[in-house]
Amino acid sequence: MFKGSLVALITPMRADGSVDEKAYADFVDWQIKEGTHGLIPVGTTGESPTLSHDEHKRVVEIAIEVSAGRVPIIAGAGSNSTAEAIELARHAKEAGADATLVVTPYYNKPTQEGMFLHFSAIADAVDIPMIIYNIPPRSVVDMSVETMARLAKHKNIVGVKDATANLVRPLHTALACGDDFCMLSGEDHTALSFNAAGGVGCISVTANVAPRLCSEMQTAWAEGRLAEAMAIQNRLVPLHDALFSETSPGPVKFAASLLGKTSEHCRLPLAPLMGPTRDRVRAAMTAVGLLN
């Protein structure tokens, strides 16, 4: 259903902190023209924790409007409040999104049963395909394979964005959830390794600034041109390293500013990048061939 290079979109902002809707619309169009296979607005990379509900919804709407059906839109709709997640998922469906991305509830530290009930309630309330977003480093909880297998039986729960960086996990997930369960890597460094373990693509941060390379890598892999895919992977590794050398999306927004796509501004509590990080990002962008 969803595969290839999907980008976890940044949310461009002006220096005063307001969302730059024009820059965002242009950025979405550029991503599609560069070959990105799907768009994810208002995920972690889109700074969803610091967007108001109105801003969150507008960012989803712009992505859908600009895409105009050219690529799938998987709208971020996660919250540690089940009722709030239902509200965001309902808006995503009404706006015309193709699916939602729902993160495991952060801060609350629910049990496995709590997570099962949370995701089941959202899937019951809103008839739209859902991708579970499992990212233990940010949410503190880790959904077990057993819980995911229980949820995979729901008709609306169709896959996972796996940001565990555990390459044994997709092997067990595929066995437990079946061949139709859509497995997407949530870690740029493991994109091809995850595919080798049964995945079908990556929800990428790096694709914000290297959309064509990320798309070509995934396409080459899918078409069996493995040496070509691995060559692109190796070319991108220093850029992956640089873009995660401080808390994301700080480095990738700075990288996007070097391309003239947006300002580097992130909302607090994310701080401006330190000087050495700026130098590292600029050097990596140059080495990969994205800057002259």
Look at residue 1 in the predicted model and tell me its pLDDT.
78
Q: Which of 57, 161, 253, 261 is catalytic?
A: 161
Look at residue 292 in the predicted model and tell me its pLDDT.
80
Please confirm, yes or no, whether 106 is among the known catalytic residues.
Answer: no
Q: Classify domain 4-222 at the CATH topology level.
A: TIM Barrel (3.20.20)
Look at residue 289 in the predicted model and tell me its pLDDT.
96
Look at residue 253 in the predicted model and tell me its pLDDT.
98
Peptide bond preceding 249: is omega within 30 degrees of 0, i.e. cis? yes
For 228-262, what is each residue's pLDDT tens digit?
999 999 999 999 999 999 999 999 999 999 999 99
Please confirm, yes or no, whether 261 is among the known catalytic residues.
Answer: no
Gap between the Cα atoms of 40 and 166, Å rounded: 22
Q: Which of 133, 153, 155, 253 is catalytic?
A: 133
Would you kindly state where each structural domain of the chain is located, as residue ranges?
A: 4-222
Instruction: Report DSSP letters for 194-259, one per residue.
Output: HHHTT--EEEESGGGT-HHHHHHHHHHHHTT-HHHHHHHHHHHHHHHHHHTSSSTTHHHHHHHHHT
Look at residue 280 in the predicted model and tell me its pLDDT.
98
Total-model pTM: 0.96
Across the chain, which has 292 residues, the per-10-residue mean pLDDT values are 96 95 98 98 96 98 98 97 98 98 97 98 98 96 98 98 96 96 97 97 98 98 98 98 97 98 96 97 97 87
Look at residue 284 in the predicted model and tell me its pLDDT.
98
Look at residue 12 in the predicted model and tell me its pLDDT.
98
Look at residue 231 in the predicted model and tell me its pLDDT.
98
Does the CA dihedral 84-85-88-93 come out positive or negative? negative
User: 261: Cβ–Cβ under 8 A, 6 or more apart, which residues?
Assistant: 12, 23, 26, 27, 30, 209
Three-class secondary structure of residue 288 per DSSP: helix
